[in-house]
Amino acid sequence: MALTDQPLEFVPLRGLRFDNRFSSQLSADPEIENTVRQVQKSFFSRVQPTRTASPKLLATSKEVLDIVGISQSEASSEYFTQVFSGNALTDGMDPHAACYGGHQFGNWAGQLGDGRAINLGEVVGTEGEHLMLQLKGAGRTPYSRSGDGRAVLRSSIREFLCSEAMFHLGVPTTRALSLCTTGDQVMRDMFYDGNPAYETGAVVCRVAPSFIRFGNFEIFTSRGQIDELEKLLKFVIENHYPHLGEPSPETYVEFFREVAQTTAEMIAHWQRVGYVHGVMNTDNMSIHGLTIDYGPYGWIDNYDADWTPNTTDRAHRRYRFGNQPAVAQWNLAQLANALVPAVHEVDPLQTALDAFMPTFNSYWSEMMASKLGLSSLTNESAKELVTELFTLLDSAETDMTIFFRRLIDIDTSTDPELATTETILPLEEAYYKPSDFHGDTQGLILNWVKRYLQVSRISGIEADERAAMMKAANPKFVLRNYLAQLAIDAADNDDISMTHQLLDVLRNPYDEQPDYDHWASKRPDWARSRPGCSMLSCSS
């Protein structure tokens, strides 16, 4: 019998308490063979992870261990490694892969589903909350299409680090519990250019209230399976949105309204910190307003509203940084369309959808005011200041993160009429080319800062309060693309230390942490065009 055909053993993990609502309350695929197929009128397929050759635990998130109820000592056990690499199960687990569809790059793609993710089951956390544990890279499922269901180390490190980094930035997100290598080699064509190569296999355990996506609803409506659509809605209302009341067409509208609101808040946070998701398909949109599926994401280095990290999106730039709010609204429209057969009316859903952009703008305005240390952006002077700011950032190669962080050091007690080039010196660090800061752009910078000083005076916020507000809104440390790549390079050479160090630093992204100033610096020249730093693909 081959290794992958051997049944998984059961091992004891005392900290986990399972309450598998999704797989116990909704109907499973009756077919038990793990073969790729179209799954009809079912919410999930039961499937076990594929055994791996020689798993090794690389990292855990201590905060997530605490949330799910696993002690540090238990996380150091061989049992833990076996379970969270996909080699063993523990009491109460009910492994399954979910069925869903989705719009990819604006086109309906039909059935997609968990092609390389397997839900282990739903645990009751230490605060009484329900949390789904999911292994990404745990092997083939009925939804794998032509894929092998595996993931590789480079993408797994990126997902593990970014999940936790986003949480500590205050961005709504799924979490990461653990990162393991598998001892298997996985063939990948990283840029789909006909140059496949073997890479180190890996598995990440992701954690969220659920992994239900917009596409879970879309698949049933697309097939005319309205009974299943209504069963899923009933499940979601009763288990994840009970505060809305009994399931009904009215509560389904309220559910959609709340999803639109939390999505607007999430996108506003993305724009605040300079995060670009890279593949905002409807199957990558959570009903909880959480950032989900860390694939070809990237962080804005030099400000560029047209930048996308995804090689697949290079031609049309649908998922570029500046287009994320509009794409979120489009995705919500597809969710609304999927809910129409259960709501029986279009108008209430349209009204809720129409509120998305004003809601986003409200969140964004509040966050931008904090980034600038202003009480609000309600007056015309403040609004014009923001418009002029992004024109300024776009006029030269300017590091977005550093610019906002160093703006804190501008002395707002300076008389705007007396501001000089010395006043704006804190911003010099944000410019990639010294000639931009000292050349023609300098006049634009100085003029904008004078306007900023005027608006700050009107705002009437004391210097200490302003600095505290801005430090809480403008991180010093983000998971810059080149930092993630350096951690991957080290891990490929069996050195996981940088992954651990980054995890520690990114736990406190708003703190100064002077020992790690070099990780808050601009993107180095070597990273401008290097794969993994400038552009990424969906390959993982």
Structure tokens given for 519: 């990780």
| Residues contacting residue 13 through CB under 8 Å, at least 6 positions apart | 70, 74, 79, 80, 83, 90
Contact partners, residue 483, CB within 8 Å, separation at least 6 = 502, 519
State the catalytic residue, choosing from 29, 283, 399, 436: 283
**Straight-line distance from the first to the last Cα atom of the chain, in angstroms, rounded to the nearest whole number:** 28
Find tokens 């906002």 and name the residue.
Answer: 404
Q: Are 357 and 365 in contact (CB under 8 A)?
A: no
Contact 409, 426 (CB under 8 A): yes
Both tokens of 346, joined, read: 């279009």
Q: Tell me the C-alpha distance between 29 and 122, whole Å.
A: 19
List helix spans (H) across 44-133.
Answer: 62-68, 72-75, 78-84
Q: What is the DSSP letter of 108?
A: E
Q: Quick one: which of 343, 351, 346, 102 has its CA closest to 217?
A: 102
Query: Using H for helix, E for strand and C for coil, what is the string for 274-299?
Result: CEECCCCCHHHCECCCCECCCCCCEE
Nearest-angstrom CA–CA distance, 433 and 85? 45
What residue ranges in 23-106 does DSSP mark as E strands?
44-46, 56-60, 88-89, 96-98, 101-104
Dist. CA 147–CA 151, nearest whole Å: 10
> How buried is residue 457: exposed, middle or buried, by Cβ count under 10 Å (0-12/13-18/19+)?
middle
> What value does the CA radius of gyration of the chain take, rounded to a whole number of Å?
24
Q: Which of 152, 155, 154 is nearest to 187 (CA)?
A: 152
Torsion (CA) 18, 24, 28, 30 in degrees, nearest 10: 100
Residue for token pair 């300098």:
442
User: Distance between CA atoms of 490 and 279, rounded to whole angstroms?
Assistant: 27
Q: Is 283 a catalytic residue?
A: yes
Using DSSP bridges, classify how beta strands 44-46 and 96-98 pair: parallel, antiparallel or unpaired. Answer: antiparallel
Number of H helices, E strands in the chain: 18, 14
Which residue numbers are catalytic?
Answer: 283
